[in-house]
């Protein structure tokens, strides 16, 4: 079982479209995990059936039972997050400001405050059009710590891949360089970095690669819209060579990506186009690299 994670540092580089294409190329042998829970879009291309769903709880949320409150103001005094206020003579907690630290409940003399688990989102297991299975999620509004939901999605995908004897787990990774992307990367066998030739593209690539290096994961890179800025493209290629990152492909600026998407398709299912060929050979290359890794060990 091999885990391949696709990340991009920042959104908008075509990461999800490319991951979805690999999912189609991987067919029923690839379990898909959409770990971009903050902007989970991949299901739009995969025809998921939302076969199973479950609420995801993370952290706590305090609430005041007005019947037990003697309005002593102790809770409001200790709350460091300005979450407790008085509205129409009642002490109330604003769920969007409450961090769930539990301090208020500890000082309340009448036990009027209870901490409940906070609903932070929902996660799903779906059968998808590739004949395989996808684990995906939706983070709740104002939820904290998407890292935990990412870890959940990934662990479920691993369990499924193990039970169903699938060879590949394809992970659409989270953006940024924080906790969610760390959860996306942990345990991966190969990382595909998707970037574009722009000032911010290279900047984000370098930042996220720092993280990949810490995990000592072998990486390859796809440069999307590579012809938009040939000079920056060359700079990126230089960086790849320096860091020993496999340069998988240069994709041209191509509006077929969007045309395919509007029809709920990945670009490799769409009419003949140059990107289809490039992505197919990238996928073959990735598979080879992942298998070779085994031999080296």
Positions in the binding site for ligand SF4 (CB under 6 A): 62, 64, 69-75, 78-79, 81, 83-84, 91, 93, 98-104, 108-110, 112-113
Residues of span 44-63 touching other proteins by CB under 8 A: 44, 59-60
Q: How many residues does the chain have?
A: 297
Q: Per rule CB under 8 A, is residue 239 in the interface with other proteins?
A: no
Among 26, 173, 201, 220, binds other proteins (CB under 8 A): 201
Task: Answer whether 209's CB lies under 8 Å from 219's CB.
Answer: yes
Distance of CA 74 to the CA centre of its chain: 40
Single out the residue of 6, 1, 40, 41 nearest to residue 266, CA to CA: 41
Q: Per rule CB under 8 A, is residue 229 in the interface with other proteins?
A: yes
Nearest CB to other proteins, comparing residues 115 and 293: 115
Distance of CA 146 to the CA centre of its chain: 9
71 binds, among other proteins, ligand SF4, none (CB under 5 to 8 A by kind): ligand SF4
> Counting beta carbons within 10 angstroms of the beta carbon of residue 108, is it exposed (0 to 12), middle (13 to 18) or buried (19 or more)?
buried
Nearest CB to ligand SF4, comparing residues 114 and 256: 114
- Residues 119 and 151: their CA atoms lie apart, in Å, by 16
93 binds, among ligand SF4, other proteins, none (CB under 5 to 8 A by kind): ligand SF4
Angle between helices 15-26 and 274-296 (to 10 degrees): 70
Q: Per rule CB under 8 A, is residue 101 in the interface with other proteins?
A: yes
91 binds, among other proteins, ligand SF4, none (CB under 5 to 8 A by kind): ligand SF4
């Amino acid at each position: 079982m091999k885990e391949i994670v696709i990340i991009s540092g920042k959104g908008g580089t075509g990461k999800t479209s490319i991951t979805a294409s690999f999912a189609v190329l991987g067919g029923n042998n690839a379990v898909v995990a959409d770990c971009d829970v903050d902007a989970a879009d991949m299901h739009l291309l995969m025809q998921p059936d939302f076969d199973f769903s479950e609420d995801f709880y993370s952290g706590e949320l305090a609430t005041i039972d007005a019947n037990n409150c003697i309005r002593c103001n102790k809770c409001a005094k200790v709350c460091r997050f300005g979450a407790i206020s008085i509205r129409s003579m009642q002490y109330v907690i604003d769920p969007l400001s409450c961090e769930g630290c539990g301090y208020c409940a500890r000082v309340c003399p009448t036990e009027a405050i209870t901490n409940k688990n906070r609903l932070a989102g929902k996660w799903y297991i779906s059968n998808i059009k590739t004949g395989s299975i996808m684990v995906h999620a939706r983070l709740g509004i104002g939820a904290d710590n998407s890292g935990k939901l990412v870890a959940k999605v990934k662990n479920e995908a691993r369990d499924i891949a193990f039970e169903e004897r699938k060879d590949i787990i394809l992970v659409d990774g989270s953006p940024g360089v924080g906790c969610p992307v760390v959860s996306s990367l942990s345990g991966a066998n190969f990382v595909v970095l998707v970037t574009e030739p722009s000032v911010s593209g290279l900047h984000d690539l370098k930042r996220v690669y720092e993280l990949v290096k810490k995990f000592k994961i072998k990486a390859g890179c796809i440069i999307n819209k590579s012809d938009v800025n040939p000079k920056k493209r060359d700079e990126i290629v230089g960086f790849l060579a320096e860091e020993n990152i496999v340069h998988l492909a240069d994709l041209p600026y191509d509006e077929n990506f969007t045309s395919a998407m509007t029809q709920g398709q990945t670009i490799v299912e769409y009419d003949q186009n140059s990107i289809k060929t490039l992505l197919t050979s990238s996928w073959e290359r990735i598979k080879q690299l992942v298998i070779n890794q085994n031999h080296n060990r």
